[in-house]
Amino acid sequence: MAEDQQYLFIDFEFTMPEKGKKTKGFYPEIIEAGIVAVINNQIKEKFSTYVTPIRFPILSGRCKSFLQIQQDQVDHGINFIELINKFSTLTKGYRNTVVTWGNMDMKVLRHNCEQAAVSFPFRAKEIDLSMEYKRFFGDQNQTGLWKAVQEYGKDGVGHHHRALDDALTTYHIFKLVENDKRYLHNPEQTTIGDRIDLSQLFNKFA
């Protein structure tokens, strides 16, 4: 029996050091995860959680201010191993494609897995939608997530830098870009009426 195709739209928020302060051995750790699982263009599951950091458990003031995440929220979050187990449960029995905005999410996840001595949870195709967007529109620079959705004349979902809201916004941009791709591959045939303003033509000969 063929496995169903599942798309996982994922966004993480990470720890960050104080600005201008060097913290020995610091590396970004996942402290919030947002996941949107989609099968046949239907959302199967939305998942959001805080994650307790392992190496540097105390959030910096900069991190709390920028992300609006408080210490007690991550203190009461799931641990990193539980997050990995959640991914394993989500992906089981499907052909999976992981979609993120930018490449940092998967880089940090891989590094966090190495530091925790656990296996990377995905055997999946990975799509950096920001690069797809850049190539599709011919932009010189990568566009931020919310700027990209606003360029489509849409609004982002909820609040920027909230993991589930950003994952949902990534999903919405993915649908918009895929629709544009289909249109380019199968443009509707124009009629002569579309190409020529017949009313002006008739007036000319009236």
Catalytic residues: 13, 161
Cβ-based neighbours of 164, under 8 Å, separated by 6 or more: 11, 34, 35, 36, 46, 47, 48, 158
Work out the angle at residue 47's Cα, subtended by the Cα atoms of residues 113 and 45, and round it to the nearest 5 degrees: 120
DSSP result, 50-61: EB--SSS-SPPH
Closest-CA residue to 112 (of 165, 156, 67, 53): 53
User: Phi and psi for 16 in degrees, rounded to 5?
Assistant: -145, 145
